[in-house]
Every structure is written in C-alpha cells, then in structure tokens.
C-alpha cells in the first residue's frame, strides 16, 4: 500500500489510523501498537504505528480523526449523547464500561469477529474465528461453544449454516437475550435467528 501511495506522490493520508474513525473498538489498540505474528510478518503485515512511521519516511502525513464522516450536528450529538463513553486511551476500555455490557459474549472466550445483520425476517449472526493453532496452522473445529447475544427483539428459532454442514445450534431466549448452544463450530459460520 505504501508503494502505491509513493507512486501516486501522496503527501497526506486520512484514514482510521491508530483506532480512529467513526467507531473505536477494544482490539484496535493491539492493531496499533502490538507486533504481528511471524506468519503475518512473512506476508508484509505491519501494525498501524509501523505503517505510519514508514509513511513518514516517505513524506506522507497520516491523519486519523474520529467522526469526520459525520455532519457537524450528528458529530456533536454523538459526542454529547448521555450514553457516549469517552476514554482518553483505548487501553482503558473493557466491556464493563458499556452501559448494558457487551452485546455478544462467548463461553469459553474465543478470538473471533462477529457481525450482526438485521434481516427482513430475523437476524443473521456471522462468526469468523481467529483462534488459530500455530502447530497445525489452522483453526480447529470447537466441539462446543456457548454464545450470548443481546438483540432488540426476541427470536425463538435458529438455523445453523457452515461450509461442512456439521454445525449444530440451539437457542434459548429470554426477552432480547439469546443464549446459543453451538456444537462442532468451524472457522466460519452463520446463525440465522428468526
């Protein structure tokens, strides 16, 4: 990417640097400052602070400002909202500072990305697991996993979708709180709640 910026004779780059952007998430601090695994390094991955330093070497200023894509009234409303939590540093974040706690949690805890998508008839929960075992260079199937998801309305049925078709899921619902019991959880899967 830096090579492309040099080719374009770039002098400035505005992006979600060091966890900036319209939202800040707890793992962004790790992406900003911590090193990557040797495998990622092999493919040229660097953390945000290293990327910014390399840009500076080539005369490219990197700017990251929270909320720049919002109109001023929306940005002010976001920053002044009674439920907005402003922290001086991302390291101060933990799920307990959220007014209602985390929307999604796993037992046992896993390294995963979750994307919740509202559908016309229900909700889709996309899960990508990142808990790779270096010794086998893959993400092994988890025999079982409990997941809690808070949604604005209750759903009482779940359909499990996985590439191999082996994922099994049950849902127990109390209000908008959904407890999902999963079996044979692969690297990637979708749970369709309805």
Give me the residue spans of the domains in the chain.
2-95, 103-193
Q: How far is CA 2 from CA 54, 108, 116, in A?
A: 8, 39, 32
pLDDT above 90 for 129:
yes
Token pair in block for residue 157: 């049925």
CB 103, CB 114: distance < 8 Å: no
Q: End-to-end CA distance of the chain, in Å?
A: 42
Confidence of residue 8 (pLDDT cuts 50, 70, 90): low
- pLDDT reported for residue 146: 98
CB 67, CB 33: distance < 8 Å: no
Higher per-residue pLDDT: 117 or 47: 117
Q: Which residue has the tokens 């999963």?
A: 182
- pLDDT reported for residue 22: 45
Q: Across 21-25, 48-52, 60-64, 112-116, which has the greatest mean pLDDT?
A: 112-116
pLDDT above 60 for 20:
no
Q: How far is CA 113 from CA 44, 105, 193, in A?
A: 22, 11, 18
**Span 142-156, mean pLDDT?**
94
Q: In 11-159, where does DSSP find H-type helix?
A: 28-33, 38-42, 48-57, 72-80
CB 159, CB 127: distance < 8 Å: no
CB 181, CB 144: distance < 8 Å: yes
CB 69, CB 22: distance < 8 Å: yes
Q: Which fold has domain 103-193?
A: Immunoglobulin-like (2.60.40)
């Amino acid at each position: 990417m830096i090579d492309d910026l040099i080719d374009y004779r770039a002098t400035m780059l505005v992006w979600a640097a060091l966890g900036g952007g319209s939202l800040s998430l707890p793992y962004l601090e790790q992406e900003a400052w911590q090193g990557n695994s040797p495998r990622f390094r092999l493919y040229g991955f660097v953390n945000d602070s290293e990327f910014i330093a390399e840009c500076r070497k080539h005369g490219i200023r990197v700017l990251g400002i929270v909320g720049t894509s919002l109109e001023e009234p929306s940005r002010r409303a976001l920053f002044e909202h009674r439920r907005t939590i402003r922290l001086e540093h991302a390291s101060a974040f933990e799920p307990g500072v959220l007014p209602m706690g985390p929307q999604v949690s796993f037992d046992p805890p896993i390294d995963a990305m979750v994307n919740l998508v509202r559908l016309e008839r229900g909700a889709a929960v996309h899960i990508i697991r990142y808990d790779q075992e270096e010794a086998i260079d893959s993400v092994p199937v988890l025999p079982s996993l409990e997941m809690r998801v808070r949604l604005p309305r209750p759903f009482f049925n779940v359909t499990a979708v996985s590439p191999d078709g082996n994922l099994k899921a049950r849902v127990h619902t109390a209000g908008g709180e959904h407890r999902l019991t999963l079996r044979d959880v692969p690297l990637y899967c979708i749970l369709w709640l309805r």
